[in-house]
Structure 1
Amino acid sequence: MQALLLLTVSLSVLFSVLAQTPHPCKAPPYLEGKLVVLFPEGHTTVFEQFAYDAVEQRIRVVASGKESTHNVFVDRLMFFRERFYYDINYHNQSCVKTPFSADFVPIEIPVDAHHKAQFVLGSLSAPAQGLLVNDWVGSVPKMKANYSMSFTEFGCIPITTLYNVEKMGHFLSSFFDIVIGLENPDIFIPPSFCTSAKLEQRKDGKVVDFFTSLL
């Protein structure tokens, strides 16, 4: 009887939330987690582990995967306020320091995004068997891209993002194992062998932006 009452109350609360209009939200300022990125036409799949600091505007990404038949690996530490990033190679104890011009873009639902749908991942049959998620759509004119992104209703945690970039194609990212907070804040401290690295322009002479640098 108590279990039935608990289920009834829980479902009543959930349905009352479903009846409300979701609003754009911003993820917690400190996050760690993992994601899988699928690049256009499925030729490249990359597994990434990231640390995110929205207060100091820093991101660390360690990515590995396959591009066609080639293995790829990147360890990138990005400082948006200082406008440069390190590509770190522990194998040969070297760093490449590169400038970029992008402003920091927090993990959030843009204020001009349009709410498309609210749904439950999993089941509504019992408490704790489903995850309430909101799906949002919009565009980024500077990137010439349209997006669809799903965030949790509670906590504003990213689930998936899908970008369709003009002349490039679709980029699908799926997030998992997200932890709120930073278990190791030292992850944003570059290794000692990076201290002597000097700023180097990319070989093509172009300054990369935030989106390009992650890709």
Structure 2
Amino acid sequence: MRALLLLTISLSVLLGVLTQEPQPCKAPPYLEGKLLVVFPEGKTLVFEQFYYDAVEQRIRVIAHEQDSTHNVFVDRLLLFRERFYYEISYHNKSCTKVPFSAAFSPIEIPIDAHHKAQFVIGSLSAPAQGLLVNNWEGSIAEIKANYSMTFTEFGCIPVTILYSVEKTGHIVSSFFDIVIGIENPDIFIPPSFCTSAKLVERKPGEVADFFRALL
């Protein structure tokens, strides 16, 4: 009987939400969690940790993977205001500063986005078995891209973001194990051996945007 009552209450709350028109939202300014990015030509990176700071415009991504031929380790601290990122290696205590020109793009639904659908990921059969999300679509003229974004209804947490960029292709980001806030703010401070790192010269067309920096 209690389970039935909880289910009835949950469905009532859900139906109340469904009758309201969703509005574009911004994710919390500080997030950490895991991130999977699928790039054009089938390239995939699974970041074991990412850290997102929308206030100071900083992102750090850490990945460690192994394929049939070699190990891949990525530890990058992207500083958008400074327009460079650190390539960090604790193994040999080395650090490289690499320039890139991408503007910081906060995790948010653009104000002119079109709401396409509201749906539940999972099941409505019982409480806590489903996640209510909204899907949004639109375009960004500056980078000649169309997008499709799915965020949670409650909390505005990103689930998936798809960019279709002209002359580049589709880039899909999937977020999981998200935590609101940054447990260790020092994650955005480069290690001491990065102090002497010099800015490398960028070749034309190389590391020009955020996604190339991730690769």
Tell me the TM-score normalized by structure 2.
0.91
Q: Distance in 2 between matches of 1:108 and 1:151?
A: 9
Partner deviation per Cα, 1:161-188 (whole Å, 9 max, x = no partner): 1111222221121110001111111111
The alpha carbon displacement at 1:207 in A equals 6.3
2:207/2:213 contact within 8 Å kept = no
Between the two proteins, the alignment pairs up a number of residues equal to 214
SS at match of 2:31: strand
Q: Distance in 1 between matches of 2:211 and 2:29?
A: 19
Q: Distance in 2 between matches of 1:146 and 1:65?
A: 30
SS at match of 1:124: coil
Say whether residues 1:113 and 2:113 are aligned partners.
yes
2:96/2:200 contact within 8 Å kept = yes
Say whether residues 1:22 and 2:54 are aligned partners.
no
Change beyond 3 A, Cα 1:107–1:67 = farther
1:37-76 maps to which residues of 2 (within 5 A)? 37-42=37-42, 44-48=43-47, 49-65=49-65, 71-76=71-76
Structure 1 gap segments, 5+ residues each: none
Q: Distance in 2 between matches of 1:114 and 1:209?
A: 26
2:36/2:175 contact within 8 Å kept = yes
Aligned to 1:203: 203
Aligned to 1:134: 134
Q: Distance in 2 between matches of 1:67 and 1:158?
A: 28
Q: Distance in 2 between matches of 1:142 and 1:39?
A: 20
Tell me the TM-score normalized by structure 1.
0.91
Change beyond 3 A, Cα 1:87–1:117 = same
The alpha carbon displacement at 1:95 in A equals 1.1
Say whether residues 1:13 and 2:6 are aligned partners.
no
Partner deviation per Cα, 1:184-211 (whole Å, 9 max, x = no partner): 1111110111000112222347562334
SS at match of 1:15: helix
Aligned to 2:79: 79
Change beyond 3 A, Cα 1:39–1:66 = farther
Which residue type is aligned with residue 120 of structure 2? V
C-alpha RMSD of the superposition: 2.0
Structure 2 gap segments, 5+ residues each: none
Partner deviation per Cα, 1:103-162 (whole Å, 9 max, x = no partner): 221111111111111000011111111100001111122222111110000000010111
The alpha carbon displacement at 1:55 in A equals 1.4
Which residue type is aligned with residue 77 of structure 1? L
Percent identical among aligned pairs is: 76
1:65/1:73 contact within 8 Å kept = yes
